[in-house]
Structure 1
Amino acid sequence: MKILGICGSPRKGGNTEFSLHTCLNALKEKGFETEAILLAEKDVKYCNHCGDCLDKKSCPIKDDAMGIFEKMIGADGIVVASPVYYAGVTAQLKALFDRSIMIRGKLKGKVGGAIAVGQSRNGGQEFTCEQIVLWMMAHEMRVVPLRFGGTVVSSLKELDAAKKDEIGLKTCVRLAEKIAEYLTGK
């Protein structure tokens, strides 16, 4: 079974990416195939509400979004991670969410989990996870019933601050365990 991880941070090699890899590595240890997509390395433009996706079932915007959507469709589970930006997901991740109308109905039944990384404990991670979960629910995914998801404390200036948050990283591992449980029934 395959799990796709999507890191919504515009910063490569930072705390959100580390937190996502903590979850994916725990899934890999359980025998899952994993892949991470870093939006920091992708070009995903904003939806301009042209309506082509509704009428023609295609999107005229040429960027990396369609390739990401194909990987989502091919995965059994999806983990989405975002740093907290004013109590929500990043603009890059929101752009991907908005454009995902293209694959409406194609993520139904897939297992999903959320990770949010903020400046302090209860620093908006719950709202950010909620935004990710609402996107998953709109796609009729099966969201693992963790209280909020993986919630990690980091720092704007320290790219490796998440490594020090043992409690937060345990929530990422626990998220992996619940995803595995949902997918295998064990």
Structure 2
Amino acid sequence: MQDTQGARPVVLGISGSERPGGNTDLALDYAGRLVRRRGAVFRTIHLRDHRISPCSPCGDCNVRTTPCEVKDDMPAIVEEMKRADAIIYAVPVHGFGLAHLMQIFIERAGVGFLRFERPLANKVGGIIVTSRRYSDASVHSQLVDNLLLNRMILVGSGFPALLRNTAREPGLNDTEGLDALERMTHRMIDMTLLLHRHQAATGEPVLLPDDRNERVARAPSMS
């Protein structure tokens, strides 16, 4: 989906940090400034500002054929994701793993909404992980799996955008991490513009989103 005011790509940043103004927010804000300098639109969702319920004990997630019925802010957030051309997940490492806000979010989004039609297919995805020192690569890998599960396009941009800060105060002190973040962000915009140009010229997306649900059996292709 393009910005309604023009043909500018729309990038949505989703922060899974509980701490306003912390390392994750600083990194995502930095990415947002890069996006806007490229003439694209950048919007931010802070999960801490929304009511997101954990998965309930209803037990029907693996058999239901309709979106989750738990009443919270998830449907509105999913609609924002559908309207974006590209999505950046930004999250800190907590307890050697994914911060709980993002963990709850990806569980609810995936099982409760996205798996039925895979509406994020062919959107460009990016990941920012902030940490003190440990487990940032494993958290990044978990989010990579999530982007690939949703048929998103993950651009190669050198090293992953892992930003470390051992200081007491929040800050963007990791020069190598910032360089990786910059490369990722620019490659995301480049890919989004390429997808726009192709669709404008042909009327079709680069990759036809015909593989919607891995739960539906597919006959093996014959070559």
Deviation (angstroms), 1:90: 0.9
Q: TM-score, normalised by structure 2?
A: 0.75
Indicate how the Cα distance of structure 1 residues 79 and 68 shifts in structure 2: closer, same or farther if over 3 A, else same: same
Higher relative contact order (CA 8 A, sep 6+): 1
Which ranges of structure 1 fall in alignment gaps of 5 or more residues? none
Residues 93-172 of structure 1 aligned to structure 2 (within 5 Å): 93-100=102-109, 101=111, 102-104=113-115, 105-120=118-133, 123-147=134-158, 149-155=160-166, 157-158=168-169, 160-161=170-171, 163-172=172-181
The separation in 2 between residues aligned to 1:148 and 1:116, in whole angstroms, is 12
RMSD, matched Cα:
2.0
Deviation (angstroms), 1:48: 2.1
2:30 alignment partner AA: T
Q: Does 1:7 align with 2:15?
A: yes
Partner of 1:30: 38
Confirm or deny: 8 A CA contact 1:52 1:58 kept in the other structure: no
Deviation (angstroms), 1:12: 1.2
Deviation (angstroms), 1:28: 1.1
The separation in 1 between residues aligned to 2:57 and 2:141, in whole angstroms, is 24
Indicate how the Cα distance of structure 1 residues 166 and 156 shifts in structure 2: closer, same or farther if over 3 A, else same: closer
Secondary structure at the aligned position of 1:17 is classed as helix
Confirm or deny: 8 A CA contact 1:107 1:140 kept in the other structure: yes
Indicate how the Cα distance of structure 1 residues 96 and 156 shifts in structure 2: closer, same or farther if over 3 A, else same: farther
Q: Deviations over 1:80-122 (max 9, x none)?
A: 01101233321110111011131221101110000000103xx
Q: Does 1:61 align with 2:70?
A: yes
Deviation (angstroms), 1:182: 1.2
Name the structure with the higher helix share. 1
Paired-residue identity, %: 26
Indicate how the Cα distance of structure 1 residues 22 and 119 shifts in structure 2: closer, same or farther if over 3 A, else same: same
Deviation (angstroms), 1:146: 3.3
Which ranges of structure 2 fall in alignment gaps of 5 or more residues? 1-8, 198-223
Indicate how the Cα distance of structure 1 residues 156 and 82 shifts in structure 2: closer, same or farther if over 3 A, else same: farther
The separation in 2 between residues aligned to 1:133 and 1:21, in whole angstroms, is 21
Partner of 1:43: 51
Confirm or deny: 8 A CA contact 2:31 2:185 kept in the other structure: yes
Q: TM-score, normalised by structure 1?
A: 0.89
Q: Which runs of 4+ in 1 moved over 4 A?
A: none
Partner of 1:76: 85
The separation in 2 between residues aligned to 1:4 and 1:53, in whole angstroms, is 28
Deviation (angstroms), 1:46: 0.8
Deviation (angstroms), 1:128: 1.2
